[in-house]
Every structure is written in structure tokens, then in C-alpha cells.
Structure 1
């Protein structure tokens, strides 16, 4: 299934997955295969966690990381879902072939 990619010019980040949409900040980003694949990994994570539980777990993991690292960037980069997405964003078949809840291997 393909997910709609929407350009939202006022976003402060390059991309964001908001099931079932992939939002990007610039029209050029629509063709950035690595960015789109990164966000597609998040779409898969959201699906398998029934969307709402993904957002709860994402926020909880970020807050724990913020306490641990006392730095927004480090806290964000160490969110388990981001770790999976960043590590596999250049493997453009990863999202298609990944197993159920594979993000757990990045805990």
C-alpha cells in the first residue's frame, strides 16, 4: 500500500509520519527516497501498535530519554523507534521485509 505524501511548508522538521500520511516540509523532499523510507518505517511501527499506542510509547520513551540525557537531540535520537528508522532508512526494502515489532530489537 502506498501512503500519501503531503507537503506542509511550515513544518520545523524535514519529515513526519502521521498515519496514514507522510508529511514533508519541502516539495523536493517528496523525491527523497531515504527520507520517505524513514517515515515509512514509522508508518509500519504505527500500524503494528494500533497508532495510538505508538504515540504513547514514542512520547514516553522520549521523556525517559530526556531525563537520562538532559538534551533534546540525544533524547530524540535514542527513541527506540527512531533508532530503528535511522539505522535502516537507506535499506530501501527494509520496511517491506521487516518483521512484526522489530523495533523491540533497538531497546
Structure 2
């Protein structure tokens, strides 16, 4: 059985191909009404997209708008790979780590 390659070990082209493949699977799951399967593929797309981004573009102490929730902001406390760790403004105050692909770096 072939070992699945990690996103961190994929080239940009491989990541883009993987994202296209996962989006197609998510689309099919959504059409079939398989909500849980759709959510899994959607989350995998988010993770793969994070590996196409540069973590150095996100700075601790800065706030970024969440791409999935416009008007909601996330304050980055520190970075760990492609994950930003911090707090949601107007959230419950609990620290969480989110893929950088969920942050809008244009703010």
C-alpha cells in the first residue's frame, strides 16, 4: 500500500492538485448530502491551502480577519508552522490554533 505524502512534503503543484482532488470529493459528498464527509474534505482543503502560504506573513501581536467569518478577528500570539495560535476577539477567551489559510492577511 502506498504511503500518503504529507502536505509539508508536497511541492506547490502537488498541493494544488491535492486541493482540486479534495474539492471534487467535497462537492460529490455535498451533492449526496453526506455532511460529515463534506466537512472532512473541506477541512483538508483548508490545511493544504495553509501550506501554500508563507507563515512569515503573519506576525505575533497583530490582528487578522477570519476568512470564514467576515467581521470576526483573530489576534495572533505566536506561530507554530502553518498554525497561528491566539484568541478570537469577542470570543470566549480560550487560546486556539488555526491554519493560516483561515486568516486574511490583507487587513
Same fold (TM over 0.5): no
TM-score normalised by the chain length of structure 1: 0.29
Larger Rg: 2
More helix by share: 1
TM-score normalised by the chain length of structure 2: 0.29
